[in-house]
Structure 1
């Protein structure tokens, strides 16, 4: 049924679940997998931008150069962590007999996924959905919504916990720890 499965991954539990779901499907259908990780400014791990403009002379030039050096190091680390994650997941899939390749892109996550799906001629895209609603979805956008409306092929969305579910889980954990009797 599926011969080419594109999997959008990141280093979260939801990303790992999407990967495992896609791996199970690829094994079942003897399909190829392509992993994509997008270096996006909305990622929590994205390096902080530095917007200090150096003056023509003076102390700011040295400060600006130092900040740019620190930013370049942060960027290199951010990029390298993505590559290492992709290599690790590719090895896992290959060890299970699923032909797998990977790519890392920069920019808008939804567009990068749709462009690669089109160019690689995917039959299926597997990706996670964080469950953002309201203002969070408005300001942070919804990658899964973009892909749903712009992808040329089928899409399997793995649902993550919503912010409300996260809060309920935290509340229940707090209630349980409050119930544990203490030794007197």
Structure 2
């Protein structure tokens, strides 16, 4: 099978993939891997520590609390999420992992701008209509406010 002509493709060198542990964030990592292999890019995985994000919205509405492992050691929880996500990237692709604390949309766009990323590959959360109105969409915020290209994966 012939190799694709990468000269005609956009060449991204720094790819940022924010994760939240969802199926769509795993799909975003897979898409970033494909992009990285075409352009020999580095992938950075970013996890944003936000306590309200750790518990699904439905459980928050019903009064469930933040999981114990998040409350007792949030940094260890973030590192665990990043380690699991890193396993989805083949060893030959350079990667970095980071965590930040804050509101996800703002933290992602600020991190991407500070570190000069070429593209953000982010999973769509797929919230239902009511949840989307109440909570908003991180991917929508990132798309509207990022200074670089954004690819949303469903």
Q: TM-score range by the shorter chain?
A: 0.7 to 0.9
Which digits, 9 at most, give the CA deviation of each residue in 1:83-135, with x for residues without a partner?
Answer: 1221233355361x111111111110001110111011010000011233533
State how far apart, in whole Å, the 1-side matches of 2:132 and 2:88 are: 33
Cα gap change, 1:80 to 1:133, in 2 (>3 Å): same
TM-score (norm 2): 0.77
State how far apart, in whole Å, the 2-side matches of 1:134 and 1:16 are: 23
Alignment length, in residue pairs? Answer: 137
Give the structure 2 partner of residue 26 of structure 1: 36
State how far apart, in whole Å, the 1-side matches of 2:22 and 2:128 are: 19
Q: Does the alignment pair 1:35 with 2:35? A: no
State how far apart, in whole Å, the 2-side matches of 1:103 and 1:120 are: 12
Q: Does the alignment pair 1:2 with 2:12? A: yes
8 Å CA contact 1:39, 1:107 repeated in 2: yes
SS of the residue 2:127 aligns to? coil
TM-score (norm 1): 0.66
SS of the residue 1:93 aligns to? coil
Which digits, 9 at most, give the CA deviation of each residue in 1:54-92, with x for residues without a partner?
Answer: xxxxxxxxxxxxxxxx97x64234442321221233355
Give the structure 1 partner of residue 71 of structure 2: 75
Q: Does the alignment pair 1:48 with 2:65? A: yes
State how far apart, in whole Å, the 1-side matches of 2:119 and 2:70 are: 34
Give the structure 1 partner of residue 148 of structure 2: 153
State how far apart, in whole Å, the 2-side matches of 1:149 and 1:74 are: 30
Larger proportion of helix: 1
Unmatched 5+ stretches in structure 2: 1-10, 57-63
Counterpart mapping for 1:51-66 below 5 A: none
Residue in structure 1 matching 2:132, options 123, 128, 137 = 137
Give the structure 2 partner of residue 84 of structure 1: 80
Q: Displacement of 1:148 after TM fit?
A: 0.7
